Amino acid sequence: MIRKLTWWVVLLPIVMFIAMAIHSVFWLNFAHVLAGVLWTGADIFMGFMVGPILRKLLPDQRKAFINWLVPKTMIYLPVLAFTTGTAGWTMASWLRMMVPGNPERPWIIGALVVITILAVTGFGFLLPTSIRTYLELQKPTPSLEKVFRLNRRNNSFAGIQGLFQVIIIFIMAHLVMG
């Protein structure tokens, strides 16, 4: 299974932790932005591109694609979500954006609400469903009906995440422009 995982993505939290240790806003921002871009792009692509395509594939094609995709996303997406949120929160704290009276504070609180929704959706629904899908596919005779049902559920949640990713991009664009 390790060969199937997108292991290189763990470099981003390493950069984040080093940035925190040396108190580098530049490298913390780098980890935050790159993880956020990769996470957002993956969510939007999966929700609005992969989902509709999967519905058009034949069952064997769908099974093969899901069997390839699920192990990669089980590490990739949670690591990106963790890195994006943690680096963003740390940076907002370092830059004193959460102090009462800061004009950007409502935007930071909005970002926290959105990231909470994304985290609950991702860690509470997408990841457990991905694990269930992967385990089902490893059985000698997996139930394709169950796999496809679980995958449809994940595609719906990926679409929801895509929508909230667009909202967070709006918030981040505001914060960058001040």
What are the tens digits of pLDDT across the range 4-16?
556 778 899 999 9
Model confidence pLDDT, tens digit, residues 5-60: 567 788 999 999 999 999 999 999 999 999 999 988 888 888 778 888 888 989 88
* Whole-number pLDDT of residue 174: 95
pTM score, whole prediction: 0.84
Coil vs helix vs strand at 57: coil
Listed by start position, the domains of the chain span: 2-177
Q: How confident is the model at residue 69 (pLDDT cuts 50, 70, 90)?
A: confident
The pLDDT assigned to 4 comes to 55
Q: What percent of the chain lies above the pLDDT cut of 70?
A: 97
3 has pLDDT over 70: no
